[in-house]
Amino acid sequence: MINVRKMFLEDIEAVMKVDKDSFSIPWSRESFFLEVESPLSSYVVAEEETGRIVGYGGFYLIMDQVEITNIAVLGEKRGQGIGKSILEALIKLVVVGGGKIVNLDVRNSNEAAKALYYSYGFKLVGSRKGYYQKPSEDALLLSLDIEEGLLDD
Ligand SMILES: CC(C)(COP(=O)(O)OP(=O)(O)OC[C@H]1O[C@@H](n2cnc3c(N)ncnc32)[C@H](O)[C@@H]1OP(=O)(O)O)[C@@H](O)C(=O)NCCC(=O)NCCS
């Protein structure tokens, strides 16, 4: 069983392991610290029954606009529905926080993440040339209108 709950400062070490396993340029400890402490941000972790953290995700909310910064699952734990659970938890927090539009960037080649976001109603709204490094790649900008998304359900 996986439990998705709020991220605390004590989780940062374990979350950094997930991040290193997931991205070519992982975030620093300080970046996570600032995100967890920020009143604008909401971060969650996916935790196994043993307490092991196997995924995380988060966003920041400004007015009613949301930016999902990251969602990641430990490599060996992918394909088991954990990414979906994290995204669902984030969307619930967005609704509670009064967010209306959810934006995110994704690597053009990231088929797993694109499929996950499209399955939740995100739509392609643009791209940013050469946005990513290591390797250099375009970002796709995806957006979800929460009210439209809820009406679709
Ligand atoms: C993207 C990521 C978070 C998905 O997490 P996950 O736990 O493996 O995803 P889930 O098992 O919940 O799958 C959810 C959906 O994603 C899609 N998906 C997941 N893995 C996929 C793959 N290898 N190929 C294609 N689609 C895939 C499917 O639509 C799947 O739904 P389905 O099982 O009903 O078909 C994970 O692959 C990851 O951590 N990747 C590295 C970090 C990253 O790229 N994050 C996104 C940054 S924008």
The atom number, within ligand 1, closest to the CA of 113 reads 1
Query: Per-10-residue mean pLDDT for the chain, 153 residues long?
Result: 97 98 97 97 98 98 96 98 98 96 97 97 96 95 89 60
User: 2-152: what CATH class?
Assistant: alpha beta
Query: How many CA atoms are closer than 13 Å to the CA of 89, on its beta-carbon side?
Result: 23
CA nearest neighbour of 55 among 25, 83, 94, 28: 83
Domain range list for the chain: 2-152
Mutate to test the pocket of ligand 1, among 48, 70, 76, 78 (most ligand atoms within 8 A of CB): 78
* Whole-structure pTM value: 0.96
- Ligand 1 atom 31, closest CA: 116
